[in-house]
């Protein structure tokens, strides 16, 4: 059987890199298997997964994203910004406010455009989910903020937030020196989290600045995680580390994101970058 050719675009947001397919023009079959194959950084294109930019009946476009292990994610903050840039510059959606359908609801993207080029995107990520049963995490009560429980084999204090996907936020010191390859899987697959979890290791530098590293379910450590940055900012506000309704800079391995938790919604601002275009046979 003759191979099918697909065109793709490699993009990243703060180093969180995905392989994007324009499904207004391309038909991608078996995206789970394709993500596993193409994400491999030695035998594939290389990336944290693939993202499909699809038609939508309720928004300007619809996003489907698949992690490097083939699992489908509900939401990716960095990918939403990249899609905003793609739609404006290449997709013919010449609006500075774009709506994007995701598995965690419709997101509103506000674009900053300079000379026809999108320089940054602010995404209204919606309200954080704090109720343990809805995150989900197997903890009692109405919130899991500064909760203490057995986690990854030790008694730890942490906060849990969903931004369309589950996050476990741990405030600690010496974040740069953590061996995430060793400790990350223990958090991701802990029985507390029935759908696995993204884990953020966060160091408070000052009331408006956090340093964060992330172990993402299905992908391992990535250079950035937009929903993780949002979850970390929310947890920092609720734990009293940072002020409500003020900009908080999240310093990630791949760059900085600016997050504001208003008490009702979470606003995420940052850049998006084209890396290269390519063709792959599937």
pLDDT tens digits for range 190-222: 999 999 999 999 999 999 999 999 999 999 999
CATH architecture for segment(s) 5-123+271-281? Roll (3.10)
Q: What is the pLDDT of residues 133-192, one digit of tens each?
A: 999 999 999 999 999 999 999 999 999 999 999 999 999 999 999 999 999 999 999 999
Over residues 110-145, the pLDDT tens digits come to 999 999 999 999 999 999 999 999 999 999 999 999
Which is it for the CA torsion 14, 15, 21, 23, positive or negative? negative
Annotated binding site for substrate: 16, 67, 77-78, 165, 198, 216-217, 226-227
pLDDT at residue 1, as a whole number: 42
Give the whole-angstrom CA distance, residue 259 versus residue 266: 7
**Residue range(s) occupied by CATH 3.10.310.10 in the chain:** 5-123+271-281, 132-264
DSSP string for the chain = -PPPEEEEEEEEETTEEEEEEETTT-----HHHHHHHHH-TTTSS-SSEEEEEE--SSSSEEEEEEETTSPEES--HHHHHHHHHHHHHTSS---SEEEEEETTEEEEEEEEEETTEEEEEEEE--PPB--GGGTT-S--SS--SSEEEEETTEEEEEEEEESSSEEEEEE-S-GGG--HHHHHHHHHT-TT-TT--EEEEEEEEETTEEEEEEEETTTEEES--HHHHHHHHHHHHHTTSS-TTS-EEEEETTEEEEEEE-SS-EEEEE--EEEEEEEEE-
Rounded to two decimals, the pTM is 0.92
Tokens of 28: 């991608």
pLDDT band at 3 (very low <50, low <70, confident <90, very high): confident
Q: What are 223-278's pLDDT values in tens digits?
A: 999 999 999 999 999 999 999 999 999 999 999 999 999 999 999 999 999 999 99
Residue 102 has pLDDT above 60, yes or no: yes
Catalytic residue numbers read 76, 225
* Percent of the chain whose predicted confidence (pLDDT) is above 90: 98
Assigned CATH for 132-264:
3.10.310.10
């Amino acid at each position: 059987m003759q191979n099918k050719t697909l065109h793709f675009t490699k993009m990243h947001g703060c180093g969180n890199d995905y392989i994007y397919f324009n499904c207004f023009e391309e038909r991608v079959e078996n995206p789970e298997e394709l993500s596993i194959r193409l994400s491999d950084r030695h035998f594939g294109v290389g990336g944290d997964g693939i993202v499909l930019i699809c038609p939508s009946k309720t928004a300007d476009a619809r996003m489907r994203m698949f992690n490097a292990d083939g699992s489908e994610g509900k939401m990716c903050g960095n990918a939403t910004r990249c899609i905003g840039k793609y739609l404006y510059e290449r997709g013919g959606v010449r609006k500075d406010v774009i709506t994007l359908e995701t598995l965690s609801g419709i997101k509103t993207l506000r674009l900053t455009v300079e000379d026809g080029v999108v320089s940054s995107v602010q995404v209204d990520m919606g309200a954080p989910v704090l109720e343990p049963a809805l995150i989900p995490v197997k903890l009692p009560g109405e919130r899991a903020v500064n909760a203490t429980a057995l986690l990854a084999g030790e008694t730890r204090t942490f906060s849990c937030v969903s931004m369309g996907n589950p996050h476990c936020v741990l405030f600690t010191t010496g974040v740069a020196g953590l061996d995430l390859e060793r400790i990350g899987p223990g958090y991701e697959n802990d029985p507390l989290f029935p759908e696995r979890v993204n884990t953020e290791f966060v160091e408070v530098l000052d009331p408006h600045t956090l340093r964060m590293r992330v172990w993402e379910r299905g992908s391992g450590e990535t250079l950035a995680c937009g929903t993780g940055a949002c979850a970390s900012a929310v947890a920092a506000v609720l734990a009293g580390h940072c002020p409500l309704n003020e900009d908080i800079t999240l310093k990630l391995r791949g760059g900085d994101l600016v997050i504001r938790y208003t008490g009702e919604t979470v606003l995420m601002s940052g850049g998006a970058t084209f890396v290269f275009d390519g063709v792959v046979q599937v």
